[in-house]
Structure 1
Amino acid sequence: MNTLSCLALSIFLLSIIFTRYRKNLSSLCRTKHAQEPGCNDLKKMAPYPAQPIKGRERYRVMMDVRKLDVENWLTVDKNYMDEHEVRSQLLETEKSKVLQCLPESYDACLEALEEVVEFLCQRFSNVFEQKKCGDETTVHNKMTGETFCFGGKNKDVDPLEIAVRLTMEDLSILMKNEEDEYYLAASASLFPVGWTVQDRIGWTISKLHNPVPLWHQQVANSVSKFLARLTPASPMERSNYFVEVKRPDEDLFEILYRPTSLSEENPDPTPQDIVIRRERQTFRRLPRTGALVFGVKTILTTLDELPMQELQNLAKEIRSWPEYVGEYKGREVWGPKALEYCEKKSRMYQQDPEKMMV
């Protein structure tokens, strides 16, 4: 091989190495950015993707659980500060309705808080930081400027309250009673749907789901087995959705906090007034106390924001509901308008698919 050939080969090999280095560096930067967003980045962070509406043609109560995306057990996004303001207001004005902890739940609530702080400080290290001094831990939220101290003899603030002042998720603690059935031992449910913690603290899982059509017939036994099998190494998640109607003048507080019902007095809702309220529900067993942490992240999407496929799937599911299910879900309030909009958009899509995709 002559000198020119060797030189050409060397340049070729160097170019390959440099290209791979740039790709690896780019990948590393993307990963680091995704795991450690700075405070300024949060204003641009999209919410964790909600599970799409599947368009089932036959109504059935389903657990539909899947393995938890452990790197995103708790989430932070561009809506954090707006929702944090609502959460703070609720804890100041409606605390007894949204936060209740039975005495026997304290150790589990403290462990849950420890898990929350550890996760947030690792996953979002540019936003949350903790310092430990003996048995006490201090956690600082750089976005809100709040600092909380817990552990040791510091019992001035309930651990679960601190946890939900940090998270975007509602958190509950499930423990077993003497009959070996799980019950709501503690709960910080700030964005409930048709109920308050004050009314239901201490209720068993079975009693909590009494209003849900077909729950006892179709999934009650499966839920009991599912909860019993959960281990600290096998966290799970599932998704759920409701449809609600808001008034045009309602603010975020009124939309998120629905302790009575999903449907407000709006007899002629527009697509912007019909809200798809999705819940990402997570299940984790605490390693020390053995209690279960149940998390709920609420995501709001108006009907006009749904992509075409989900609109069609929503219409399919609405039509599949038996009368008693439709009544439970408030279909008579928003159903006709929602179906009318779905059908209109479907016709437009059939006439000009490319335009609808823009």
Structure 2
Amino acid sequence: MNTLSCIAFAIFLLLLIVTRYRKSLPLRWNQHRAQHPGCNDIKRMTPYPAQPIKGRERYRVMMDVRRLDVANWLTVDKNYMDEHVVRSELLQTEKKKVIQCLPESYDACLEALEEVVDFLCQRFPNIFEQKCGSETVIHNNMTGETFTFGGEKRDVDPLEIAVRLTMEDLSILMKNEDDEYYLAASASLFPVGWTVQERIGWTISKLHNPVPLWHQQVANSVSKFLARLTPASPMERSNYFVEVKRPDEDLFEILYRPTSLSEDNPDPAPQDIVIRRERQTFRRLPRTGTIVFGVKTILTTLDELPMQELQNLAKEIKSWPEYVGEYKGREVWGAKALEFCEKKSQLYEQEKEKMGEV
């Protein structure tokens, strides 16, 4: 084979390799995108798994923090649109009660929004799309909404845009002159027994005044935890409440609980007793150094709990001192919940015995 033939053959091989590589790119890209749910897929997505009830036999206030699952800092699931309707209604009818931002929090709120948009567009690219220039435009394919922010545009509330995109409530924690963290901005749309309008500006310590044993058992640990949090060490934790709803309540009324966990239902059925869990996330923002605190609410009725969690719940209810039970509303739902747990456990044990005999 002469020199010209060798060169021609080499060029042919190179073209063949390039052609095959270029053909493979769309496939690889499609495979990558297929990992992310589209608008239709979300309707089938189960919620991010809630931490199970552990069944502690001795009551104690605990931080129970763990490393954040960074790939799921913010979540999207089949309940997105239903909850989005509730969030939109709250921001229209109860805005002052559910969102407040002190003037000094603007830069932190804007940074939090930038982090939210970047995360959602990377994690769910079929749902959220952004265009960046002197201003940023974010479009939500699920709701059809488009928001513009950044640059010289300061007439929009960054935190409001953020919680119109997310399923999580978001708050900004900043330090005051006494080196204490306080609630500088908050969009808490699904609160339990309080409103942002009442508590904006409160320190973390003051916010937890009503919680039994909080100051004695975890106040110092919480202060140290917040001080040590870095952008590279985001954390999360979980907790739960028990609430009672009326049979005719809709999702808006169940999620928005600014006054009490218990509605007027003196004889609640198992499906009227709701386990309300919160997945709480903590991230230090790199530019402003403030902390963005997220809360995702997950609802499960008593009759939907798996057996192990039902038994663990009964253990914990029985472990609460009287003053803790009073704080948690046990006198309203406690007897009914324990009765249901006991009956379900008995049936479960009977079924196990029958299976053993077979």
- TM-score when normalising by structure 1: 0.90
Q: Secondary structure at the match of 2:270?
A: coil
**Offset, 1:133:** 1.5
SS of alignment partner, residue 352 of structure 1: helix
Q: 1:314 to 1:150 in 2, by over 3 A?
A: same
What is the aligned partner in structure 1 of residue 276 from structure 2? 277
Offset of 1:36 from its aligned partner? 1.0
- CA displacement, residues 239-270 of structure 1 (integer Å, 9 cap, x when unaligned): 00000000000000000000001011100000
- Per-residue CA deviation, residues 179-213 of structure 1 (Å, 9 max, x unaligned), is 00000000000000000000000000000000000
Alpha-carbon contact 1:171-1:189 (below 8 Å) kept:
yes
The one-character-per-residue Cα deviations of 1:34-69 (angstroms, maximum 9, x if unpaired) are 841011000000000000000000000000000000
The one-character-per-residue Cα deviations of 1:267-307 (angstroms, maximum 9, x if unpaired) are 00000000000000000000000000000000000000000
Structure 1 counterpart of 2:106: 106
Identity %: 87
Shift in CA distance, 267/284, structure 1 to aligned 2, threshold 3 Å: same
Q: Any idea what SS the aligned residue of 2:287 has?
A: coil
Equivalent-residue separation in structure 2 for 1:246 and 1:257 (angstroms): 12
Task: Identify the residue that residue 123 of structure 1 maps to in structure 2.
Answer: 123
Where do residues 7-46 of structure 1 align in structure 2 (5 Å cutoff)?
32=32, 35-46=35-46
Distance 1:186 1:337, change over 3 A: same
Question: RMSD of the alignment, in Å?
Answer: 1.6
Q: Which residue pairs with 2:255 in the alignment?
A: 256
- Preserved contact between residue 184 and residue 205 of structure 1 (Cα < 8 Å): yes
Deviation, 1:153, is: 1.4
Matches within 5 A, 1:10-159: 32=32, 35-134=35-134, 136-159=135-158
Structure 1 distance, partners of 2:256, 2:304, is: 21
| Number of aligned residue pairs | 328
> 1:96: how far off?
0.1
Q: Secondary structure at the match of 1:87?
A: helix
CA shift for structure 1 position 353: 3.0
Letter of the structure 1 residue corresponding to residue 296 of structure 2: K
Q: Give the 3 Å change call, closer, same or farther, for CA 101–56 of structure 1 in structure 2.
A: same
Q: Would the alpha carbon gap of residues 354 and 296 (structure 1) be closer, same or farther in structure 2, given more than 3 Å must change?
A: farther
Measured in 2, the distance between the counterparts of 1:164 and 1:192 equals: 14
Q: 2-side partners of 1:186 and 1:85: how far apart?
A: 22
| Cα separation, partners in 2 of 1:261 and 1:252, compared to 1, 3 Å | same
Structure 2 CA distance, aligned partners of 1:232 and 1:275? Answer: 35
Q: 1:137, 1:150 within 8 Å by CA — same for their partners in 2?
A: yes
Alignment of 1:161-310 (within 5 A): 161-310=160-309
Q: Aligned-pair distance for 1:157?
A: 1.7
The aligned amino acid for 1:103 is: P
Q: Please give the secondary structure, in 2, of the residue aligned with 1:217.
A: helix
Q: Aligned residue for 1:337? A: 336
The match for 1:16 is none
1:180 alignment partner, SS class? coil
Partner of 1:6: none
Q: What residue is the counterpart of 1:328 in the other structure?
A: 327
1:187 match: secondary structure:
strand
Cα offset for 1:355? Answer: 8.7
Contact 1:35–1:124 (8 Å) recurs in 2: no
Q: Distance in 2 between matches of 1:34 and 1:227?
A: 37
Distance 1:215 1:29, change over 3 A: farther
One-letter amino acid of the structure 1 residue matched with residue 101 of structure 2:
C
Per-residue CA distance 1:199-234 (angstroms, 9 max, x = gap): 000000000000000000000000000000000000
User: How far did residue 33 of structure 1 move?
Assistant: 6.8
> In 2, distance between residues paired with 1:279 and 1:355?
38
Partner of 2:7: none
SS for the counterpart of 1:300 is strand
Distance 2:217 2:280 in 1: 19
Using the size of structure 2 for normalisation, the TM-score is 0.90
Which AA in structure 2 matches 1:278?
Answer: R
SS of aligned partner of 2:43: helix
Unaligned runs of 5+ in 2: 1-27
Contact residue 35 and residue 123 of structure 1 kept, 8 A: no
Tell me the distance in 1 between the aligned counterparts of 2:187 and 2:354.
45
Higher Rg of the two aligned structures:
2
- Alignment partners' CA distance in 2, 1:182 and 1:346: 44
SS at match of 2:261: coil
Q: Which shifted more, 171-180 or 347-356?
A: 347-356
Partner of 2:262: helix, strand, or coil? coil
Query: Quick one: structure 1 residues 179 and 307, their matched pair in 2 at CA, closer, same or farther if it must change by over 3 Å?
Result: same
Letter in 1 for 2:118: E
